[in-house]
Homo-oligomer: A and B are copies of this chain.
């Protein structure tokens, strides 16, 4: 089993029940999550030693975050307490034709307002196999653009593999700004989650009408030959309750694609991508065959869509049983 640390912001999510609009809601469901925290939980579920590196306010909400992570056996030794607030967002759950909608209230969070590295790099990266971070972190502030680069370099120095999920958010920064920062980070990355829109809009690959995803993976790799693995999901949205999901992987100069997962009805889409990412990192840590890896990662993402909350709730054994039995079928 491997040792992984993931760094990023964790937020408080308030969700409506399906069929009720946000402005009508008398109660809201409470979940804690964030891309990197969700990846850590997935990996802990599969038996890896995973810790989450972040900062939360020193109040009952910060305490709730800590208990949430502990529950899934994610290490909290690098979870700092302090700062102003916990980033929050409101999810009006979608259903059928009505898409979900989101109200963000994440500015001024304890994590976003960090301006220095308040952990010991020695302790942080000791014996760590993979350091995972996403493009959301440098999008939070110019400080975090500097700090992210510094941490990635430190990780490399300590012999960790660096995993980076581009995860572009137009609400946080412009494509131009993101492109500029990514160019500083990607030279230190080993595993990268990116799609063809990232390739075109952020990394400056010229779009080719007749080319598909493998072409773009190859092109990014030409720019950053240090990146050995690319992966992402293709999602066809039939409705907010019905999506088709295909996992894709570029590894050893070869393109792999999973079977299509028809996800209907969708219970909660949040964290579906993080579950996928967790599945890929699990496969890399365990040196699985690429095809097996991409099927596993896509299956775990599909299963995530069937439970409330941000985090994957399934063990490796359960994901494999699902792959063996097929949709809705029980292995007896």
Contacts and interface: CB of A to CB of B under 8 A. Distances in A.
Interface of A: 14, 18-30, 59-61, 63-64, 67, 70-73, 84-86, 88, 90, 92, 94-101, 103, 105, 107-108, 170-171, 237-243, 261-268, 302-303, 305-309, 313, 322, 325, 327-330, 332
Contact of A96 (B24, B170, B266): B266
Most buried by B among A101, A108, A265, A303: A265
Given A19-B306, A97-B263, A240-B328, 15 more contacts: A21-B313, A22-B61, A23-B64, A26-B30, A60-B90, A70-B70, A84-B107, A85-B107, A88-B88, A98-B322, A98-B328, A99-B322, A99-B330, A238-B328, A265-B265
9 contacts: A19-B306, A20-B307, A23-B313, A27-B27, A70-B71, A95-B265, A97-B262, A98-B328, A237-B329
Contacts of A85: 105, 107
The 8 closest A-B pairs by CB, nearest first: A239-B328, A240-B328, A19-B267, A23-B64, A98-B306, A22-B60, A71-B71, A97-B327
A322 B101 CA distance: 11
B23 A67 contact: yes
Given A97-B328, A101-B330, A105-B85, A28 B28 contact: yes
A29 B30 contact: no
Contacts of A86: 105
Contacts of A171: 332
Most buried by B among A105, A303, A313: A105
A176 to B, nearest CB: 17
A79 to B, nearest CB: 12
A157 B96 CA distance: 45
A235 to B, nearest CB: 11
Number of identical monomers bound together in the oligomeric complex: 6
A72 B64 contact: no
Contacts of A21: 60, 307, 313
A15 to B, nearest CB: 10
Nearest to A304: B98
A241 to B, nearest CB: 6
Contacts of A71: 67, 70-71
A21 B59 CA distance: 12
Contact of A94 (B98, B105, B243, B328): B328
A64 B328 contact: no
A241 B328 contact: yes
A142 to B, nearest CB: 19
Contacts of A242: 264, 328
Nearest to A102: B330
A100 B332 CA distance: 11
A241 B263 CA distance: 11
Contacts of A108: 107-108
A220 to B, nearest CB: 23
Nearest to A308: B19
A64 B96 contact: no
